[in-house]
Amino acid sequence: MELRFYNTFTRRIEPFQPEVAGQARMYHCGPTVYQRPHIGNYRAFLFADLLRRVLEANGYEVTQVMNITDVGHLVADADEGEDKLQKQAEKERLDPWELVDRVCAQFFGDLEALQVLPAHHYPRATEHIPEMVEMVRSLIEKGNAYRVGDNVYFDVHSFPPYGELSGNKVEELEAGARLEVNLEKRHPADFALWKSDPDHLMKWDTEFGPHGFPGWHIECSAMSMKYLGESFDVHTGGEDNVFPHHECEIAQSECATGRPFVKLWMHTRFLKVDGGKMSKSLGNVWSLDDLAARGFSALDFRFLVLRAHYRGSVNFTWEALKGSAEARQSLVDLRGRLEAEARGAAAADDEVVERARGDFAAALADDLNTSAALAAVFELRNAFLKEGLAAAAAAAALAFLLDEVDAQLGVFETAAGAGALDDAQVEALIAARAEARSGKDFARADAIREELQAAGIVLEDRADGLHWHRA
């Protein structure tokens, strides 16, 4: 089925045409790990997971990268001001690296609870400083960036398409910026690639000076291109990432390589809480723990997000979450009733099931229309409750529910799902995989690798043998 997605760049829904047929290389802006990500962040990460699942269900081989921003993201996404990580570390009187480790553990735990499939790479900014330095150097050499003391800025006038993604005009940006002019910059709209600050806690001694750290935008350019190549297929984020973050990424990446950076830009709309922005002062910056404390599972939240289209608005309220938990439970009940009804019968074609299957796939192929896809599932449920289904049709409906609905929406709790494997089970599976490989049963070996991957186990083939760790 042809997949069609809305491209923020062209402002149109377009057929999905990756650079290499059958493959999809995507990068998602990940969390800034200064505090446990909130449910708004998870809307963005669930959207990325949905996209991956739908691509895979349609036969694409997906490579998915999500970065971890552990330095350089300044408050208010600005060029001046405090680093979010440093500010929080100082507030908690903690070493920033400890803070990063704590938040990363919370983040990966949350992803597991949400049944987000592990991405193939989770690069950390602090582990890619040489790649960033090299990119900044090449931008200076090409005349797109300039040094002022130990700071380096990108010259937006050197890249005429600057502003095309967000619809901003450089002159208007500059007029708006007049009040906060940084006299170091040649133009007010220029942005920092590298910053110097002797008081910064996380800093590197490089060719630009002894106390430097990267700007947030250069991090995502350097890390995405390292893992996906100079041109790749999809880049996602929340709507706030369009400007300045993604606009700046395009400018610096295309100037550095001379090639188009990303074909398809996709952004999810912000999650609202109680009709507005989440804010600390309102006390409504909820985490998954807050949801659990009120008796809701992470999957109930996942369901709430998926009930709406990713570009549509979602307003989180406790009432809405309760409604989503009930709707999700009704699918869990449906699954149980179908299992009872199917009684081991072989699945056979059934008109009602086929219609649901077709409508479901078509809805997701149409710019990930999850609300329409779920409507197709609930129509099947209503038909079943009203008319019943013969055993063979119930078996077909059950297969649809598990192999298509759950595979793409991930709404059922998987017993063998993420995190359910203990160390001994992991070792046993790894041994079984090695055995399958030596017996040239590659299909079985691949299936085991996928099972491990789905459980968040990362395998690493190193010179001294195979190592594994939890993502």
- Compute the least distance from the CB of residue 31 to ligand AMP, in Å: 4
- Of 196 and 236, which CB lies nearer to Zn ion in the complex structure? 236
- Of 51 and 364, which CB lies nearer to Zn ion in the complex structure? 51
In which order are the strands placed within the sheet that holds 209-214? 145-148, 151-154, 191-196, 209-214, 204-206
Positions 50 through 69 that interact with ligand AMP (CB under 6 A): 69
| 298-306 and 318-342 helices, crossing angle to 10° | 100
- Of 54 and 220, which CB lies nearer to Zn ion in the complex structure? 220
Contact (CB, 8 A) for 236 and 27: yes
- Using alpha carbons, list the distances in angstroms from residue 78 to 72, 127, 166: 10, 23, 16
Please give the Cα distance from 471 to 468 (Å, whole number): 9
Q: Is 214 in the site for ligand AMP (CB under 6 A)?
A: no
Q: Is 44 in the site for ligand AMP (CB under 6 A)?
A: yes
HSE-up of residue 159 (Cα within 13 Å, Cβ side): 30
- Residue 220 binds which of Zn ion, ligand AMP, none (CB < 5-8 A, kind-dependent): Zn ion
- Of 224 and 324, which CB lies nearer to Zn ion in the complex structure? 224
Please give the Cα distance from 410 to 51 (Å, whole number): 12
Contacts (Cβ under 8 Å, ≥6 apart) of 229: 25
Contact window for ligand AMP (CB under 6 A) among 130-138, 175-183, 268-276, 288-296: 268-276
Query: Residue 385, Cβ neighbours under 10 Å: how many?
Result: 13
Residue nearest to ligand AMP (CB): 238
- Residue 121 binds which of Zn ion, ligand AMP, none (CB < 5-8 A, kind-dependent): none
- Of 285 and 458, which CB lies nearer to ligand AMP in the complex structure? 285
Q: Is 240 in the site for ligand AMP (CB under 6 A)?
A: yes
- Compute the least distance from the CB of residue 177 to ligand AMP, in Å: 22
Nearest to 384 by CA among 369, 370, 400: 400
Contact (CB, 8 A) for 248 and 29: no
Please give the Cα distance from 265 to 167 (Å, whole number): 14
- Compute the least distance from the CB of residue 406 to Zn ion, in Å: 30
HSE-up of residue 52 (Cα within 13 Å, Cβ side): 24
Contact (CB, 8 A) for 164 and 9: yes
Q: How many positions of this chain bind Zn ion (CB under 5 A)?
A: 2
Please give the Cα distance from 317 to 271 (Å, whole number): 11
Residue 242 DSSP symbol? I
Q: Is 271 in the site for ligand AMP (CB under 6 A)?
A: yes
Contacts (Cβ under 8 Å, ≥6 apart) of 285: 38, 278, 279
- Of 298 and 331, which CB lies nearer to ligand AMP in the complex structure? 298
- Compute the least distance from the CB of residue 418 to ligand AMP, in Å: 20
Positions 70 through 109 that interact with ligand AMP (CB under 6 A): 73
- Interface pick for ligand AMP out of 72, 238, 244, 456 (rule CB under 6 A): 238
Contact window for ligand AMP (CB under 6 A) among 154-162, 235-243, 326-334, 414-422: 235-243
- Of 51 and 273, which CB lies nearer to Zn ion in the complex structure? 51
- Of 271 and 430, which CB lies nearer to ligand AMP in the complex structure? 271
Q: Is 270 in the site for ligand AMP (CB under 6 A)?
A: yes
- Residue 221 binds which of ligand AMP, Zn ion, none (CB < 5-8 A, kind-dependent): none
Contact window for ligand AMP (CB under 6 A) among 37-45, 95-103, 283-291, 412-420: 37-45
- Of 44 and 374, which CB lies nearer to ligand AMP in the complex structure? 44
- Compute the least distance from the CB of residue 105 to ligand AMP, in Å: 16
Positions 195 through 234 that interact with Zn ion (CB under 5 A): 220
Contact window for ligand AMP (CB under 6 A) among 203-211, 265-273, 293-301, 414-422: 265-273
Q: Is 32 in the site for ligand AMP (CB under 6 A)?
A: yes
Under DSSP, is residue 470 helix (H, G, I), strand (E, B) or coil? strand
- Of 211 and 272, which CB lies nearer to ligand AMP in the complex structure? 272
Q: Which two tokens stand for residue 192?
A: 């920092």
- Cα dihedral 122, 127, 133, 135, rounded to 10, equals -20
Which helix (H) or strand (E) is 12 found in, with range? Answer: strand 12-15
Q: Which two tokens stand for residue 272?
A: 């609202």
Q: Is 29 in the site for Zn ion (CB under 5 A)?
A: yes
Q: Across 80-218, where does the E strand assignment appear?
A: 145-148, 151-154, 191-196, 204-206, 209-214
Binding footprint of Zn ion on the chain (CB under 5 A): 29, 220
Interface contacts to ligand AMP, rule CB under 6 A: 29, 31-32, 40-41, 43-44, 69, 73, 237-238, 240-241, 268, 270-271
